[in-house]
Amino acid sequence: MLYGVRRRLEGVYERLLEREVSGAPTHVAVIQDGNRRYAREQGAETTEGHRAGADTTEQVLRWCGDLGVEELTLYAFSTENFERPPDEREALFDLITEKLRSFADREEVHDRGVRIQAIGEVHRLPDRVREAVAYADRRTAGYDELRLNVALAYGGRAELLGVARDVAREAAAGDLDPDAVDVSEVERRLTTGPTRAVDLIIRTGGDERTSNFLPWHANGNEAAVYFCAPYWPEFSRADFLRALRTYQSRQESWRRTRARRAAALLRAVGDVELTEARRVFGRFRDRAGDDESVDLLDVETAD
C-alpha cells in the first residue's frame, strides 16, 4: 500500500521536473560512484554492486535518448582502478566485457542509433575487454543519433600529458611550429576523448570532486556539475532530471550575466563616444567664433 503511494508520488514529481526542464544539454558525462559502498550496505559482494550499477547505466542511456541528450560519457574504469585488488579488477573486466557485448546486440541500441565507443588507454586492458570494445565499435559503426563513450583505463592528466609530449617531440624535431599549436590542434590530438565539449558532469555517491575526468572537455567549457548523494545503483530518473535542471539554471544564469555585461559595455561605450563628441564639438565651436551658431543635440545613453 505505502509502496504504491510512494511510486505514484514519485511519478508526479518526475512529471513536475520534466515540465521544469525545457532543454537538455548536448553532452552529459557521469562519474558512477558508490557501487562498492552500495554492495557493502546490502551485505553483498562488491561485484554485485558493480552489476547493479550496470543496470542503472542501461536506464540512463534510455533517459538520454528520450530527453534529447546527444552524447553520454561514462567513467567506467580509471587508470587509478588498476590499483584495485586483482580479484575485484578481474571481475570488473568480466562485467565490462559482458555489458559491452550485450549493449552492442541490444535491439534498443540499434533502434535508437546509438554509437558505442571506448575512450582511454584501451591497449592497457586485457584481450577480452579489447575484443569486446572492438565488437561494440563494429556493431554500431554506422550510427550517430546518440554517442555512448565508455571511459576505460582513462585518466585526464595522462591524456593531456601525452599530447604535451607529442607536441614537444615534434617541435624539437622541427616538424611543428610551436606558434601553430592552438585549441584545434590540441583537440585533434586528443584521440582518446569524446567528440563534443562536456556541458554537464554528474557525480553520484556524495563526493564533490571530478576525479581527473575529462579536464579538457569539461573545464574548458566551464561545464555545470551536479553532485548527488545516491549511490550509482540507486540513481533515479528524478535524480537525472534534477541534474538537467541544474544545467538549465546554470545556462539561464550565464545568459543573464552576459546580458548584464553587454548592457554595461554599451553604456560604457556610449559614455565614451558622447564625451568625445562633446569634446570635438567644443573645439569646432571655438574655431567657428561668435558669428556662427551650432546646435548640439544631446544624446543620452540608455540604462
| Residue ranges making up the domain that contains 43 | 11-256
Instruction: Give percent of the chain above pLDDT 90.
Output: 55
CATH number of the domain encompassing residue 193:
3.40.1180.10
Write the CB contacts of 159 (distance below 8 Å, at least 6 apart in sequence): 190, 192, 193, 216
Kindly state whether residue 91 falls inside one of the protein's structural domains.
Answer: yes
* pLDDT at 290 exceeding the cut of 50: no
pLDDT at residue 201, as a whole number: 96
211 domain-assigned: yes
Which amino acid is present at 186? V
pTM of the model: 0.77
Is 221 among the residues known to form the active site?
no
Tell me if residue 286 is catalytic.
no
Average pLDDT over residues 197-201: 93
pLDDT band of 295, cuts 50, 70, 90: very low
- Which residue among the candidates 35, 55, 81, 286 is catalytic per the annotation? 81
- Examine residue 220 and state whether it is found in any structural domain, yes or no: yes
Q: For residue 283, is it within any domain?
A: no
Average pLDDT over residues 12-19: 75
* 198, pLDDT greater than 80: yes
Q: How many residues does the chain have?
A: 303
Q: Is the pLDDT of residue 183 over 90?
A: no
How confident is residue 292, by pLDDT bands cut at 50, 70 and 90?
Answer: very low
258 against 111, higher pLDDT: 111
Q: How many domains in the chain?
A: 1
Residue 217 inside a domain? The answer is: yes
Residue 265 lies in a domain: no
Give me the pLDDT at residue 268, please.
59
Whether pLDDT at 127 is above 90:
yes
Q: Quick one: average pLDDT of 176-194?
A: 81
Give the cell for residue 257: 550575466
pLDDT of 192 reads 62
Does the pLDDT at position 303 exceed 60? Answer: no
Q: What pLDDT shows up at residue 91?
A: 93
Residue 18 lies in a domain: yes
For residues 100 and 162, the model is more confident at 100
Query: Is residue 273 in a domain?
Result: no
Say what the pLDDT of residue 74 is: 96
Q: In the predicted model, what is the mean pLDDT of the chain?
A: 83
